[in-house]
Amino acid sequence: AQKVTQAQTEISVVEKEDVTLDCVYETRDTTYYLFWYKQPPSGELVFLIRRNSFDEQNEISGRYSWNFQKSTSSFNFTITASQVVDSAVYFCALRGDFQGAQKLVFGQGTRLTINP
């Protein structure tokens, strides 16, 4: 069975602090895909990044960076110099290439609050 765990239910930091959102996954598929989505108060999920299981390079996009470590089955997301607009619920998700090919399995989400 596939599973995604986001152990941090809520995080609150002051603006300009760096913050890391943790994501741990379980899958038996040898090929799989990991995703991060942002859900602002409006409710719509916004796609942030996709990472393939065979590509362990970390990625940076502006203030956002992602650390993928197969050895620990983790795909953590760091926001540098956080801003109030980063306040949202963030979801990590997993999609397999065989057993779990038909759906995204989501974690419970982490509610991030950036205080001014």
Q: Which is nearer to another protein, 14 or 93 (CB)?
A: 93
Instruction: Provide, rounded to whole angstroms, the least separation between the CB of residue 44 and another protein.
Output: 5
Q: Which is nearer to another protein, 39 or 80 (CB)?
A: 39
For residues 64 and 48, what is the distance between their CA atoms, to the nearest angstrom? 9
Instruction: Provide, rounded to whole angstroms, the least separation between the CB of residue 81 and another protein.
Output: 26
Instruction: Provide, rounded to whole angstroms, the least separation between the CB of residue 50 and another protein.
Output: 5
> From the DSSP assignment, how many helices (H) and strands (E) are in the chain?
0, 12
For residues 112 and 55, what is the distance between their CA atoms, to the nearest angstrom? 27
> What is the per-residue burial (b if ≥16 Cβ within 10 Å, else e) of 54-91?
eeeeeeeeeebbbbbeeeebbbbbbbeebeeebbbbbb
Q: Which is nearer to another protein, 22 or 97 (CB)?
A: 97
Question: Under the rule (CB under 8 A), what is the footprint of another protein?
Answer: 4, 9, 33, 35, 37, 42-47, 50, 52, 91, 95-97, 101-104, 106-109
For residues 53 and 98, what is the distance between their CA atoms, to the nearest angstrom? 13
Q: Which is nearer to another protein, 38 or 114 (CB)?
A: 38
Instruction: Provide, rounded to whole angstroms, the least separation between the CB of residue 25 and another protein.
Output: 13
